[in-house]
Amino acid sequence: MSLLERVQKILDEKGITIKQAERESGLSNATIRKWATQNPSLDSIVKLAKYLQVSVDYLACGEEAPLPTRFQVYCDGVPLTESEADLVAMYRLLPEEHRKESFEFIHFKYSHFVVGGEKASIYSTYSDTSKPQEESGPARGDNTKSGTA
């Protein structure tokens, strides 16, 4: 399918005439029809793609650009490193009982090196379990520090 045919198909689906599309997208009269014999400028394709709310890739080639395979994940406004994202992925693959054990180990390390000794379990704060859990809560007194776990 040619660019002009693809544009005409989209316009037909949206109930828009070529003249209306040219006027409302900021293109000169007969610009789109000239695409049957002339190559369009990139600027014209971009304007029309924005107007039609389709990607330039789709308008020019008939294909959408592939989505990125890995999305950036943030925690406290800071992007996770690849190793942090890998830890989350591995954690998700563990059975529930191993998740709790892993969580408690990380919390122990966090408490020892960051908070300074808080030992109450906070696992239940982050998990949805029906079993009773150990008491959970914030650090108290001199054990408080800014930041999040």
CATH of 3-61, one of 3.30.360.10, 3.20.20.30, 1.20.1070.10, 1.10.260.40: 1.10.260.40
3-class SS at 75?
strand
Question: Could you tell me which residues come within 8 angstroms of residue 142 by beta carbon, excluding any fewer than 6 positions away?
Answer: 116
Q: What is the pLDDT of residues 109-148, one digit of tens each?
A: 888 887 765 555 555 555 555 555 444 444 454 544 444 4
Spell out the domain ranges in the chain: 3-61, 74-140
**Are 120 and 134 a contacting pair, CB within 8 Å?**
yes
Whole-angstrom distance, CA of residue 62 vs CA of residue 110: 51
Q: What is the pLDDT of residues 92-117, one digit of tens each?
A: 898 888 999 999 999 888 888 877 65
